[in-house]
Structures are given as C-alpha cells and as structure tokens.
Amino acid sequence: MSLNIRSILIATDGSDNVKNAVNWGIGLAKANDAKVTALYVVPPAGVGSAMRGQMWAKALEGHLKEQGEKATAYVMDIGNKEGVKVDCAIIDGKTPGNGIVDFAAENDIDLIVMGTLGLTGLNHILLGSVAENVVRYSKRPVLIIP
C-alpha cells in the first residue's frame, strides 16, 4: 500500500510534548511536498460555556484562543525554517478529539500527525486521551509521536 501524502494536519496544544510531533510533521511535509495545516482546538469551557455572558468566561475563552494562536504560530515558524508552507486553524465548540477528526474529514487531510502525553493509570481513565480518540474514530491515517 502506498500513501500519497498531499496534506498533513498537525494537531497541537502548544505544549512541549508536541514539539517532536511538529518536527516529524514538518519533515514529512517537506519530503512529500505536502501542504500543512496546524490545528488547535479550543476545549469546551464546561460551566463557562453555559455562562458566556460572565466576564470570567469570556476571559477564559480569550486566553484559550491566545494559546491557540501561539501554538499554531510555533508550527508555522518551524515550517518557515524548513521551507514548508503552513496554514493555521483554530476551532472551538468541540472536544479536541472530535475537532481534529472532523476537521481532517472536512478538509480532505491525508495524514494527521500529533503527539501524546502518554498518560497512564487513573489520569488516563479520568481524562481520556485525545490521541487515542483520534486513532479510534478517524477515517484518516494517524501518526502518533511520543
């Protein structure tokens, strides 16, 4: 089986744990002359979403979007250094796993590249794993970089 990689989605949360995945994604894009989209999904604010009129909820939402801008800008900077064009996207209103899977399907992405925190035990059970959910529900190939 051969995979013609024309478009790569690099999912980022801005953490140091994602930097290795960013490097892999940009490297694959350069090797395949593929386009890259850096995606940040603003996680639901929980109670804050029910109280959007509250000042603190708006501040939290603004902070999360700012984090998304920084996270996607990092991917763009790495791409620029390697001569790879990177488009940035920030979406909200979905859980990160669903947002990544839906974005990839809606934008005809050939490969999703993402990192993982590698949570185990109780943390994994309570928090779940975005990477695990993407692998489980994506119709697109997913490359997980630890």
Q: Is the pLDDT of residue 52 over 60?
A: no
* Cα angle value 42/8/143 (rounded, 5°): 85
Q: pLDDT value at position 36?
A: 98
The pLDDT value given to residue 47: 47
For 86-134, what is each residue's pLDDT tens digit? 999 999 989 999 999 999 999 999 999 999 865 555 555 544 588 999 9
Residues forming beta bridges with residue 114, ordered by sequence position: 144
pLDDT recorded at residue 144: 93
Residue 71 has pLDDT above 80, yes or no: yes
Q: Sorting pLDDT into bands at 50, 70 and 90, what band is 73?
A: very high
The domain limits of the chain are: 7-145
What's the CA gap between 24 and 19, in Å, rounded?
Answer: 9
Strand order in the sheet with 111-115: 86-92, 35-42, 7-11, 111-115, 142-145
If you average pLDDT over every residue of the chain, what do you get? 87
pLDDT digits (tens, 9 = 90+) for 41-51: 988 765 444 55
Query: Is 60 exceeded by the pLDDT of residue 19?
Result: yes
Please, what CATH class does the domain formed by 7-145 belong to? alpha beta
> What is the pTM assigned to this prediction?
0.87
d(CA 75, CA 81): 10
